[in-house]
Amino acid sequence: MTSNRYDVIIVGGGPAGLCAAMYAGRGMLSTLLIERGMPGGELLNTELIEDYPGFESILGRELAVKMTDHARKFGASFLTDNVEGVKRLPDGDFEVKTDMGKTFTAPSVIVTAGGTPSKLGVGGEKEYAGKGVSYCAVCDGAFFKGETIAVVGGGDAAVEEAQYLTKYATKVYVIHRRDEFRASAILQQRLFANPKIEVIWNKTVEEVEGGERGVTGLRLKDTVTSQVTTLPVTGVFIFIGFKPNTGVIKEHVKHDESGYVFTDTSMMTSIPGLFAAGDLRHQLTRQITTAVGDATTAAIAVEKYLAEKKETAGVGAS
């Protein structure tokens, strides 16, 4: 479309957004996807993907290109910009504003803005992302069969993921800056009973060390004595928090205690016409497959929502 009005606007260009754009285009809906960078989201930060059906192994960037091309094939429009806010107007439509001063309107919006894993912010973390540094055990655990790795964190996620990683790694160190975990008691019991896991208390990661082949170790600082030591590992999984990117929604939307958005079975949020899919939605797991599943449902639900809205408006007019 040449105007600033669309049938549906998709906020976020990760796997969920790209899938939603493809299905919306197939449904003959005028579709605009807004992504702040190159389409692909976290796919662009993933070196190799081995858990997406149909591809025994595919580079993250390659899958991102394929999904983007597929959405374009069915007519979706793309804009590189950052969404400042999604606001519902008095007539029930939505206004989407961007940082570059552009404004778009649509009767429906699918928010697929994902979430952001909390980073350590230390040297080597960014350099070795995808080369030994990971934020997802399910995604990357299988790459570390028979190796010695570390998990950083002390909450439920860190403790659960450390347990999961023992399926692959020979040894898993759990590094925590305090002398006790925040994780639930039952999870701690399971962790302490696992012979493959060793807890390193009162330590913070000062630097991720590595070479051409990836991570080789961690520089640790004792929070009590300030002594610095080196821990040889070939991988480090960081679980110190994850924040869903729901700040773009400029109206209260029902969410859980961590900020993840609640939806119904059609992926509609508590705000009529506003749908959510992917990592920012309240659910059990966050994978590429669950993201595209959410998005498929959301896009088809949008098509039905708009048809019913049009039909209702026509009845009212008569």
From 136, 156, 222, 256, active-site residue: 136
Catalytic residue among 7, 19, 139, 279: 139
Token representation of residue 193: 């009973």
State how far the Cα of 163 lies from the Cα of 186, in Å rounded to an integer: 12
Share of the chain residues as helix, strand and coil, in percent rounded to the nearest 5:
25, 30, 40
- 55 Rama class: left (phi>0) / alpha (psi -120 to 50) / beta: beta
136 is catalytic: yes
Q: How many residues does this entry show for the chain?
A: 318
Distances (CA, A) of 297 to 107, 117, 207, 278, 293: 17, 25, 42, 11, 6
The one catalytic residue in 7, 140, 279, 294 is 140
Rounded Cα distance between 62 and 149, Å, is 27
Q: What's the number of CA atoms in the CB half-sphere (13 Å) around residue 235? A: 26
Helices within the chain (DSSP H only): 15-26, 60-73, 137-140, 156-165, 185-192, 288-317
CA distances from 132 to 129, 166, 217 (A): 6, 16, 10
DSSP character string of 159-211: HHHHHHHTTT-SEEEEE-SSSS--S-HHHHHHHHT-TTEEEE-SEEEEEEEEE
- Check if the beta carbon of residue 57 is closer than 8 Å to that of residue 50: yes
- Residues annotated as catalytic are 136, 139-140
